[in-house]
Chain A
């Protein structure tokens, strides 16, 4: 190829832009990540993620659905977040 007439990074950038906007156009619902688990040992709210699990304990709620992020000092006993069926403490796998 003697002279590279096209600028591949420009095409790549437009492709990146196109992929993002086609994806967002076909997205059925904008699912916000608002589920947090509570670690009763450390007293921390952990955003739901694949590296954690609920260690079963029948008396305590493990995960909660928040409208926004948990506030400082918020605990499962004084939260307005909606508890989910999972029971136990949210701990690393």
Chain B
């Protein structure tokens, strides 16, 4: 498979993931507020994250769609996935005093372990997309 097609498929998958998660949060905003309040964050942080998370997810989708800003979109996607995966890793390692509800996110009926594998898959996909896009923009070769 040629690199541009691979990038297109990776960007399509990431756009589907982030648009679905962002729109589902916005479509049921009260439920999202409740899910966030069930996490480990203090109420003031919940109020910020409530708008920040779907906002950044939609920004990532827009940046991925516009070909000129695709590299930036892939960097933002990678950053988001690193943060989400890091949070899940902290939850699973027992860092917090209680295990928060795993009811948010894409797989809202499944446990944290499944969420972790799901996120790692998209993290790898996002990293691969970023590398391919960088290679294309830098003329096919990785800089040493």
Contact = CB atoms under 8 A, between A and B. Distances in A.
Interface of A: 1, 4, 7-13, 15-17, 19-21, 23-24, 30, 32-34, 39, 42, 44, 46-52, 69, 92
Contacts of A15: 16, 19
A16 B5 contact: no
B2 interface: yes
A32 to B, nearest CB: 6
22 contacts: A4-B8, A8-B11, A9-B8, A9-B11, A9-B61, A12-B15, A12-B19, A16-B16, A16-B18, A32-B31, A33-B34, A47-B38, A49-B38, A49-B99, A49-B101, A49-B103, A50-B111, A51-B102, A51-B111, A69-B34, A92-B98, A92-B99
B101 A47 contact: yes
B34 A32 contact: yes
A19 B20 contact: yes
B23 A16 contact: yes
Given A15-B16, A16-B17, A20-B23, 18 more contacts: A7-B8, A8-B9, A9-B14, A12-B13, A13-B19, A20-B27, A21-B27, A30-B31, A32-B31, A33-B31, A44-B97, A47-B101, A48-B101, A49-B101, A49-B103, A50-B111, A51-B112, A92-B99
Interface of B: 2, 4-5, 8-9, 11-20, 23-24, 27-28, 30-31, 34-35, 37-38, 61, 64-65, 67, 97-103, 111-112
A30 to B, nearest CB: 7
Nearest to B24: A20
A46 B13 contact: no
Contacts of A8: 8-9, 11-12, 15
Nearest to A49: B101
A4 B15 contact: no
Nearest to B70: A9
A20 B12 CA distance: 17
B2 A1 contact: yes
Contacts of A51: 99, 102, 111-112
